[in-house]
Amino acid sequence: MTRFAAPIAEQIWDMKYRFKAADGTPNDVTVEDTWRRIARDLARIEKDPQVWEDRFYTALEDFKYLPAGRITAGAGTARQVTLFNCFVMGTIPDSMGGIFEMLREAALTMQQGGGIGYDFSTIRPRGADVKGVAADASGPLSFMDVWDAMCRTIMSAGSRRGAMMATMRCDHPDIESFIGAKSDAARLRMFNLSVLVTDAFMSAVKGDGPWDLVFDGKVYRTLPARELWNRIMKATYDYAEPGVIFIDRINAANNLNYVETIAATNPCGEQPLPPYGACLLGSINLARLVTDPFGKDAKLDGKALSDLVALAVRMMDNVVDASKFPLPQQLAEAQAKRRIGLGVTGLADALLMLGLRYGSDEAAAQTEAWLHAIARASYLASVELAKEKGAFPLFDAEAYLASGNMKNMDEDVREAIRKHGIRNALLTSIAPTGTISLYAGNVSSGIEPVFAYAYKRKVLQKDGSRTEEEVVDYAVQMWRDKFGDAALPDYFVNAQTLSPSDHVKMQAAAQKWIDSSISKTINCPEDISFEAFKDVYMQAWDTGCKGCTTYRPNDVTGSVLSVSEESKPAQGSAPEVVAKDMGEPQIPHGDVIYMTEPLDRPQALEGQTYKVKWPDSEHALYITINDIILGGHRRPFEVFINSKNMEHFAWTVALTRMISAVFRRGGDVSFVVEELKAVFDPRGGAWMNGKYIPSILAAIGGVIERHMISIGFIEGEGMGLKSDPQAQVVNLDAPRGKACPSCGQFEMRMVEGCMTCGSCGHSKCG
């Protein structure tokens, strides 16, 4: 019996978390091996490793506790990698030397795959005097462009993708340029942007007062606070950025406000961090802890929850000592405060199992109760660790207990901390869990509602065949297993049907007992009015949220399909979805497929070499195409292009690598021919064998096409090639966005503050 609840879960494990040797041979033969590897590595910190290894294993077993992806993939592999997902970097000095030292530190951190956050408010505004050089400052946005280029360079070098968060205070003189930066589609693509909004600013907005833009004590400009607020809102309405971070509220509630000031967050916003702070994340899978799901006695097992939280806290505390860090400052910061971020996933599924509608008052109350229980259990577990291993080095009992967040903690917990200290300065955070939620059986992500009950995905197998599989939400599948084809009850709701106020209500309910912050997307309908949109942010402020991220689908942010109103499906079935007219066609290709892994290359291949003599070129091109045999049929596997003409060297090498990479992924690769044959040379083409060929690349495409015909891969010239589909209706379950850059599926959507693929788990935020 497999431990995986769905095929997609096993595929995600194999792609992202399974430990493999350099040649691709699995070290983790089963998922149990993965759990054992993690448990063993985190238990080596203990005085009795074997005892704790077995206990840690029980926490990981059956996906009950889900460490963040970096821990799951890296722990116990002996690789020199960090187990921390993301960092806030040091404060940027307002000097050229200091700025580029910070850039160097960012590059070193991103090279190890860490997402990074920066506050650019410390750089003087554009046009300010630069003393000693008789020049004007270029401003923080010019340096953000440098960071953006660095991030692209690191990624192009083959490093794991990273993400960056840039923040700027609402009183910085360049704040208006910062707010509008994402209106330029080519600028700051590697950044998420958020405005640090202060209490004073919100008071000025509410009171329609003036607002000064200030740097280093100098007032550069004064404008109405509501005018600036409307600028933020309009940019977010149109481009989904910038987000809003209520920074004074974050600092006031911070358990460590007596030793640190926070001015930035990690890329998804759930971890406000001081300079050199790092995210250490993990999630309790609430969907796995419900007993008698959908029954009259359905409930979350409180004892199991407390026991699991205690083990998770101990494991996460051990990560601080087990992990490598890109920079020594990050190590020092982590060890001084031992901050962790324990959160949840599967919340919406757990609520459904209890018969509660996400967004209802009852669901909000239950969410608050569960997270209160987790907060109590985590703080008490950390007190027990302090008894055994000591409190975090910067612990000061009276200052700690006087912080905003700790004032609200239960008195018995406060007394335990006063008496024994606490091992971890902060303990709770709700992080994006898109990929690990898929890995855990497609449970609902974080505290988000269910996005789609089910959707179809095509998977390309190594033998060239395709399989189509349905990806079903965990709770929906459990309902089907228990009740068969019975219609889903009315309390089954998803992200598309909820009102924005319901989203905010759930975020606010969760925030009360989360001592860091929450990564949450508030989905807004495309036709929401601007005034109603602004009300969402004001509701977030009024109900105690620490920040707000919304997503309103449009032709810029990308939702190209919507549920058809003409054809209402039976409950529990996949509704019809129709394409919307949004200018440039972005209709999903009917045959877009997800490839499991590249085809393996045999030691020997059969092939053919072709000669192409382009007119006016001194030397001929020699094109070699080698084939692989799958299922008794030949298919192109790799291409080599050679010429004595050095003018062609660079582009022919690049072309052969790209085409070969496409061929080795399998599937219908005949589109390569179509793409090459469509390329024209503005200097003119040539007549070859009685036909006009628009470019030398088109000639190469013609050679590949003839080869495909000769081996029977396509039927004839111009046949078997992909073309844009003209289907009016496709059977999908929810609005679809842009194509995923990793797997090609049209499943990109905003989840937990980050564009994420619902099919393969690819995330802009790493």
Residues 464-520: pLDDT tens digits?
566 778 889 999 999 999 999 899 999 999 887 899 999 999 999 999 999 999 999
Q: Helices marked H in 157-221 — which ranges?
A: 175-179, 199-206
Structure tokens belonging to residue 323 = 């992990």
Please state whether the peptide bond connecting residue 242 to the residue before it is cis, i.e. omega within 30 degrees of 0.
Answer: yes
Let me know: does 518 contact 430? Beta carbons within 8 Å: yes
Q: What is the pLDDT of residue 575?
A: 35
pLDDT digits (tens, 9 = 90+) for 404-438: 889 999 999 999 999 999 999 999 999 988 889 99
How many Cα atoms are found within 13 Å in the side-chain-facing hemisphere of 106? 34
Instruction: Specify the length of the chain in residues.
Output: 766
Let me know: does 15 contact 760? Beta carbons within 8 Å: yes
Is the pLDDT score of 381 beyond 70?
yes
Let me know: does 102 contact 90? Beta carbons within 8 Å: yes
Of 96 and 558, the structure prediction assigns the larger pLDDT to 96
Is the pLDDT score of 357 beyond 70?
yes
Q: Choose the catalytic residue: 85, 254, 257, 266.
A: 266
Active site residue 757: no
What mean pLDDT do residues 721-728 have? 32
What mean pLDDT do residues 27-32 have? 96
Is the pLDDT score of 157 beyond 50?
no
Q: How confident is the model at residue 726 (pLDDT cuts 50, 70, 90)?
A: very low
What mean pLDDT do residues 34-39 have? 98
Of 596 and 328, the structure prediction assigns the larger pLDDT to 328
Active site residue 268: yes
Q: What is the pLDDT of residue 492?
A: 95
Structure tokens belonging to residue 270 = 């759930």
pLDDT digits (tens, 9 = 90+) for 279-294: 899 999 999 999 999 9
Q: DSSP states of 598-614 as a string?
A: PPPPPS--EEEEEEE--
What mean pLDDT do residues 29-55 have? 97
Q: What is the pLDDT of residue 259?
A: 96
Let me know: does 520 contact 507? Beta carbons within 8 Å: yes
Beta bridge partners of 212: 222
Q: How confident is the model at residue 723 (pLDDT cuts 50, 70, 90)?
A: very low
428: which DSSP letter?
A: B
d(CA 675, CA 678): 5
Chain center to CA of 460: 24
φ, ψ (nearest 5 deg) of residue 609: -110, 135
| Mean pLDDT, all residues of the chain | 86
What mean pLDDT do residues 585-609 have? 59
92: which DSSP letter?
A: P
Instruction: Give whole-number Cα distances, 402 to 256, 376, 513, in Å.
Output: 10, 18, 16
Structure tokens belonging to residue 72 = 């799951």
Q: What is the pLDDT of residue 679?
A: 81
Q: What is the pLDDT of residue 460?
A: 57
Let me know if 204 is exposed, middle or buried by CB neighbors in 10 A (0-12, 13-18, 19+). Answer: buried
Q: Which residue has the tokens 């740097």?
A: 215
Q: What is the pLDDT of residue 732?
A: 35
d(CA 441, CA 3): 9
Is the pLDDT score of 79 beyond 60?
yes
Q: What is the pLDDT of residue 163?
A: 81
Is the pLDDT score of 589 beyond 60?
no
Highest mean pLDDT among 74-78, 643-647, 717-721: 74-78
Active site residue 743: no
Q: Which residue in 343, 213, 244 sits closest to 284, CA to CA?
A: 343
Q: What is the pLDDT of residue 731?
A: 34
Q: Which residue in 371, 379, 366 sits closest to 310, CA to CA?
A: 379
Q: How confident is the model at residue 333 (pLDDT cuts 50, 70, 90)?
A: very high
The three-class DSSP label of residue 623 is strand
Q: How confident is the model at residue 604 (pLDDT cuts 50, 70, 90)?
A: confident
Q: Choose the catalytic residue: 270, 333, 576, 747.
A: 270
Is the pLDDT score of 236 beyond 90?
yes
Q: What is the pTM of this model?
A: 0.78
Let me know if 690 is exposed, middle or buried by CB neighbors in 10 A (0-12, 13-18, 19+). Answer: exposed
Q: Which residue has the tokens 């990273």?
A: 162
What mean pLDDT do residues 249-267 have? 95
Q: Choose the catalytic residue: 86, 268, 279, 760.
A: 268
Q: What is the pLDDT of residue 696?
A: 86
Q: What is the pLDDT of residue 738?
A: 61
Worst-scoring range by mean pLDDT, 36-45, 124-133, 632-641, 729-738?
729-738
> Strands (DSSP E) along 112-163, which ranges?
115-119, 129-130, 135-136
Percent with pLDDT over 90 in the chain:
60
Q: How confident is the model at residue 337 (pLDDT cuts 50, 70, 90)?
A: very high
Is the pLDDT score of 704 beyond 70?
yes
Task: Give, for 522, the enclosing helix (H) or strand (E).
Answer: strand 522-523
Q: What is the pLDDT of residue 578?
A: 29
Which one-letter amino acid corresponds to residue 192? N
Worst-scoring range by mean pLDDT, 269-283, 469-483, 593-607, 701-715?
593-607
Is the pLDDT score of 73 beyond 50?
yes
Q: What is the pLDDT of residue 766?
A: 56
What mean pLDDT do residues 63-77 have? 95
Chain center to CA of 454: 21
Q: How confident is the model at residue 650 (pLDDT cuts 50, 70, 90)?
A: confident
Percent with pLDDT over 70 in the chain:
85
The three-class DSSP label of residue 127 is coil
Is the pLDDT score of 219 beyond 90?
yes
Q: What is the pLDDT of residue 681?
A: 73
Q: What is the pLDDT of residue 572?
A: 40
